[in-house]
Amino acid sequence: MKLLVTALLLLAPLLRAAESASGAPPAMPPCCAVIAPDAPLSGRSIYQLDSIWTNDAGRVSRLAALRGRPVILAMFFSHCEYACPVLVQDLHRLRAQLPEAVRERAAIVLVSFDTVRDTPAALRAFRERMSLDAGWTLLRGETDAVEDLAMLLGVKFKQDARGQFAHSNLITILNAEGEIVHQHAGLQGDISEAARAVALPLH
């Protein structure tokens, strides 16, 4: 019996590959799901926040638009001199550790603290400067939205007299329902646990 199950498990990816080759949609990795937009949110989903965000292309959306895929979320600001470039490198490392199917579905989302200077154009310049591909979403919001998100994530931040922000370096992993499943604090640490959290089955 055990052998049979093992054999089936080993076969499963092959079967799925055959399926996709024959034109059927590729199987969704276990981290991910197609969720109807009107399906009720879980009580722990941060997508209960109905704040409005603007991306670097000027498109407006709610965080709930990310529903259905795992999200690697961090807060930053584009004028950051030290920590944020390092944070971006950490996120690159994290992404590189993901299984390919998960990597294709996962969204990396950077949300700015800087409600004044981080306009869509400034975020666009940051994207170019850091060579970020379409897997990265850069968002800006108004003060209330930024504050609420920081409060929910437990991110501390404070703007100093020069306009720079002191802030927690915190990477948050959300599952496809927008629930916090892992948080990684600090820079340049071992992020393998965070990478495993991204690939976790949804339930």
CB of 22 to other proteins, least distance (A): 42
Task: For CA atoms 93, 96, 102, 106, give the dihedral sign.
Answer: positive
63-92 residues in contact with other proteins (CB under 8 A) are 83
Q: Does 62 bind other proteins (CB under 8 A)?
A: no
Q: Which is nearer to other proteins, 94 or 199 (CB)?
A: 94
Residue 99 or 186: which CB sits closer to other proteins? 186
120 φ/ψ angles, rounded to the nearest 5 degrees: -50, -40
Q: Give the whole-angstrom CA distance, residue 193 versus residue 107.
A: 17
* Long-range pairs of 34-41 with CB within 8 A, sequence gap ≥ 24: 34/68, 35/67, 35/68, 35/176, 35/177, 37/64, 37/67, 41/177, 41/178
Name which of 67 and 105 has its Cβ closer to other proteins.
Answer: 67
Cβ(95)–Cβ(106) under 8 Å?
yes
CB of 124 to other proteins, least distance (A): 27
* Residue 168 engages other proteins in binding (rule: CB under 8 A): yes
Q: Which run of H or E residues covers position 61?
A: strand 60-62
Q: Which of 22, 25, 133, 162 binds other proteins (CB under 8 A)?
A: 162
The binding track of 120-159 with respect to other proteins, each residue x by CB under 8 A or -, is ------------------------------xxx-xxxxx-
User: CB of residue 191 vs other proteins: minimum separation in angstroms?
Assistant: 12
Can you spell out the DSSP letters for 89-149? HHHHHHHHTS-HHHHHH-EEEEEES-TTT--HHHHHHHHHHTT--TTEEEEE--HHHHHHH
Q: Is 161 in the site for other proteins (CB under 8 A)?
A: yes
Does the footprint of other proteins cover residue 46 (CB under 8 A)? Answer: yes
Residue 187 touching other proteins (CB under 8 A) = yes
Interface residues with other proteins (CB under 8 A)? 43-46, 48, 83, 150-152, 154-158, 160-162, 166-170, 185-187, 189
